[in-house]
Structure 1
Amino acid sequence: MADKRLIAVEIDEETLSSSGPDAEHERRVAIFDLIEENTFGIIDDDGGPYVLHLSMVERKLVFDIRRESGDKVHAFILSISPFRGIIRDYFMICESYYSAIKTQTPHQIEAIDMARRGIHNEGSSLLAERLEGKIEVDFDTARRLFTLICALHAGQARAPGG
């Protein structure tokens, strides 16, 4: 039986460089959470565990998947365009949440947090849908991958020219 999980995530610094210590920290936390617990299997592949190498080519996210030995399994290209609105909304609601923590009541904070989780779930569902037929993930893994995509996007959005 295949070990359907990721054991490492590598980021191509030439195409997805972080814009500073905050963005780098967000990436490290997202990768740690993803590696800690995930379900990740390539459809029609008996291998695993996998190493995921992420890079950006022509504004598309490349999932270059390899075996633990380094042997290439498959590369999938994922357009970021369908995620742009969700990512933008997610960042806006996160800013509202962090502002609310300072001044709002617990009930108001909880309402904003529920909205934040709802948008995150929407992005996670879209990601799982886009990976369907290529990569098998459970919902929690899709959530962690979406968090990583947001962290990578945040680094690009804040980078000069990004």
Structure 2
Amino acid sequence: MSDKGHARSRLVDVELDESIGRSTPDVEHERAVAIFDLIEENSFHPINDDGHGPYRLKLSLVDARLVFAISREHGEAVVTHILSLTPFRRIVKDYFMICESYYEAIRSSTPSQIEAIDMGRRGLHNEGSQTLLDRLSGKIEIDFDTARRLFTLICVLHWRG
């Protein structure tokens, strides 16, 4: 894709609707970092759109579903997709558990033990990212790195601190 095409097939803003709710300062910081990382580098294009990005994404929660309200940079609505979070529950739960193990290991384990736990953590993160890619297939075209950043955001939306 040309540089101009890439500049058009990307997110320039991600907003969390009030339905997401607010949390502790630590969680809010992690959400802000996840959003910053996603905006900083991404590839994002709604399927069947005429390609007039860049795009804004507003995320909200409705009945255990994540709503992706996509608009153009200047606010014109493009499309809304609703994604069930049910397929992510186990992965997010397991990911949080292994993250806790990882942070505990950093304090008291050998480098090889830390590396083994980190490999498992990255594996679960990749699994969640692939699940997200699969669930968005036919709706939103994203690359794997963007799926990883979006999955990170989904995880911090679940984190209560």
> Scaled by the length of structure 1, what TM-score is found?
0.93
1:12 pairs with one of 17, 22, 28: 17
Q: Which runs of 5+ in 2 are unaligned?
A: none
Structure 1 residues 132-147: aligned runs within 5 Å? 132-147=137-152
Work out whether 1:47 is the aligned partner of 2:52.
yes
Q: Which runs of 4+ in 1 moved over 6 A?
A: none
The DSSP-based 3-state class of the residue aligned with 2:20 is coil
Q: Secondary structure at the match of 2:159?
A: helix
Q: Note the 1:46-125 alignment, pairs <5 A.
A: 46-125=51-130
Say yes or no: does 1:37 pair with 2:41.
Answer: yes
Following superposition, the deviation at residue 22 of structure 1 comes to 0.9
CA distance in 2, matches of 1:142, 1:116: 16
Between the aligned partners of 1:47 and 1:98, the Cα distance in structure 2 is 43
Q: Which string of whole-angstrom CA distances, capped at 9 and with x for unpartnered residues, describes residues 136-156 of structure 1?
A: 00000000000000001114x
Give the % identical residues.
Answer: 64
Per the normalisation by structure 2, the TM-score is 0.94
Asked if 1:23 corresponds to 2:10, the answer is no
Letter in 1 for 2:26: D
Find the aligned partners of 1:41 and 1:86 in 2 and give their Cα distance.
25
Provide Cα deviations, 1:54-77, integer angstroms capped at 9, x if missing partner: 001111000000001101000000
The Cα RMSD (Å) is 1.0
**Which runs of 5 or more residues in structure 1 are unaligned?**
none
* Number of residue pairs the alignment of both structures matches: 155
Amino acid of the residue matched to residue 17 of structure 2?
A: D
Does the aligned pair in 2 maintain the 1:18–1:152 contact within 8 Å? no
SS of 1:89's partner is helix
Shift of 1:19: 1.6
Cα distance in 2, alignment partners of residues 78 and 92 from structure 1: 24
User: Which amino acid is 1:93 matched to?
Assistant: I
Supply the distance in 2 between the matched residues of 1:19 and 1:36 (Cα, whole angstroms).
24
